[in-house]
Amino acid sequence: MFNITENKPICVDYETPYVKKAKRAIDQIHPITNEVIATYESIEAAGRAMGLTSGSGIGIALREKRSVCQGFIWRYSGISKEDQYNEQPVIKVCCSTDEKTYFTTIAAAAKDKDANISAPGMRQRILTKVHLNDHHWIFDKGATHYT
């Protein structure tokens, strides 16, 4: 691998896992009516639309249960507040083989050898669609937990 601007090899530490973080759509919600005012393609896009220098304040609101920044409620699109914070079954998916491993809870998935993360960290990894070491994690929407 080469640095394009300087045409020099890039030092790659193969002990450090490669992390690919995907953007996730978020909803801006009116605090009184709970109606979705706008949907943004990412936290950064929402921050720019609100006139902020970055989306870090909105990101913090999303990670905390208070969910308020700039006077609005913020949630990941397509996920209810209850689902965002409830204990949920999880599926680990191998990106190259599509092999699936099922876990009964987020805490159990977090203890897996490929994850090596806290339960709150695993929840954020799922919500932000992070890929790590050829795996990603999703909520098991087909589990009896949702019926």
* Residue 103 CB burial class (10 angstroms; 0-12, 13-18, ≥19): buried
> Given the DSSP bridges, would you call strands 26-29 and 90-94 parallel, antiparallel or unpaired?
unpaired
- Residue 129 belongs to domain with CATH number: 1.10.10
Residue 84 has pLDDT above 90, yes or no: no
Domain shared by 30 and 65, yes or no: yes
C-alpha distances out from residue 86 to 90, 105, 115, 133, Å? 12, 10, 20, 26
Domain assignment present for residue 63? The answer is yes
Structure tokens at 143: 């589990």
Distance CA 27, CA 73 (A): 8
Mean pLDDT lowest among 10-19, 27-36, 132-141: 10-19
Report the predicted TM-score, pTM, of the whole model to 2 decimal places.
0.48
